[in-house]
Amino acid sequence: MGRKADPKGKDRPRTIVLAGDVAEIAQKLADKGELSRTLSELLRFNYGFGDALDEKKRELEAAHEQRINLQRLEESLALEIDDLESTILKQNSTIKPNLEKRKAILLQRRADVGVKLNRAFAKQDETKYIIQARNLDELINEVNQELEELN
């Protein structure tokens, strides 16, 4: 796979031995007349030899790619924030008022059961109202917990 030296004297021909799997690729590139150019580009890229213009172009391309990635990240974060804000608005406009309404109803029922408990004379009625009061207290605590989670 040797080639003639550049008449300008800027390069020197080399003879190299390649592994079998890449030898076929190298031969195809040599047949097309692209092997020297491809190897030169790969060596410049991998070992940093190249002119300053190519290096600056690569830096510019890398900076441009970083800027695009940051813009994509910014857009995705903005969408996530919008989704979270709409969820919070939905909770504050629908769920929270419903919980507060439910809490008011449960508090009223608890007050009514408390009045009935104070007026109860029979032990059976008193036990029934105590159980109802406990159940209502548990429901009120659950609603309070849900309201705290929303805040």
- Could you tell me the CA-to-CA distances from 67 to 59, 62, 78, 132 in Å, in that order? 12, 9, 16, 64
Task: Specify the pLDDT at position 2.
Answer: 55
Task: Specify the pLDDT at position 144.
Answer: 94
Positions in the chain whose pLDDT score sits under 50: 1
| Cα atoms found within 13 Å of the Cα of residue 73, Cβ hemisphere only | 6
Task: Specify the pLDDT at position 41.
Answer: 78
Task: Specify the pLDDT at position 10.
Answer: 61
Task: Specify the pLDDT at position 1.
Answer: 47
Phi, psi of 38 (to 5 degrees): -65, -45
Task: Specify the pLDDT at position 135.
Answer: 95
Q: Residue 137 and residue 33: Cα distance in Å, rounded? A: 87
Residue among 93, 127, 133, 97 nearest 113 (CA): 133
